[in-house]
Amino acid sequence: GSGSGSSSGSASSRLLASDTSSSGDVAASSSEGFSHTTDLPMEIRVAIFICRVFIYLCSMGQWVVFHVKYSLKDFRSKALIRYGRFAIPEYLAAWQGWSSFLLTMFLFCMLCMEPILHCFQNNDGYLFTEHCADGEAMLFPYSVMSTAAMLLYFLLLSDLSVFSTRVSAFALICTRVVSEVALFLFGLTFFVCAFACAVSALEQDDPDF
């Protein structure tokens, strides 16, 4: 009886030890790396990397040269706009200037957060992957920066409306009407708040009031 009890006890202890070691191995493997089963094929990863290099070199590089050139030009000619103690180059007052400057900043942030670069040293043999400990942490903020950059690209693309008289006239009317629409919405909001406050001050039999 005692022999069978000791053997069953040793078997249960070995089973518990094996379960503990296996769970520890699973936890260690999950903490050391990521599963690459959802990674894109190698050809697509290479294409994405080439396109991003093109954006950083040709697009961001071109905008960096543009802003450095015009900033130096405005500072040398004293063409500055002052906001209190701060002075900015005059070319940034136009919407094309500040939107392209914001685009440059977003592209630079994208380069700093690039998940492929963060996974270069820890890619588990998957070249140009975005799925590693550092890359996964950068995916969401990188997507926010890329979303803002995409919106600014299309905003700057609207400047091509000058090539069509009808589109240019439509864009001009829209820019002039936006201020009027904003004033209308402000007036509507004012009247809604006024009547809402007045109704709430009125004596009501409704229990919700």
Structure token digits, residue 141: 């903020």
Helices 95-113 & 133-157, crossing angle to 10 degrees? 160
Which H, E and C letters describe 66-128, residue by residue?
A: HHHHHHHHHHHCCCEEEECCEEEEHHHHCHHHHHHHHHHHHHHHHHHHCHHHHCCCCCCCCCC
Instruction: Write out pLDDT tens, residues 73-90.
Output: 988 998 888 887 888 889
Residue 158 vs residues 113, 150, 167: alpha-carbon distances, Å: 28, 13, 10
3-state secondary structure of 56: helix
Residues of the chain with confidence (pLDDT) below 50: 2-33
- What pLDDT shows up at residue 152? 94
- What pLDDT shows up at residue 60? 94
Q: How far apart are CA 83 and CA 12, in angstroms?
A: 77
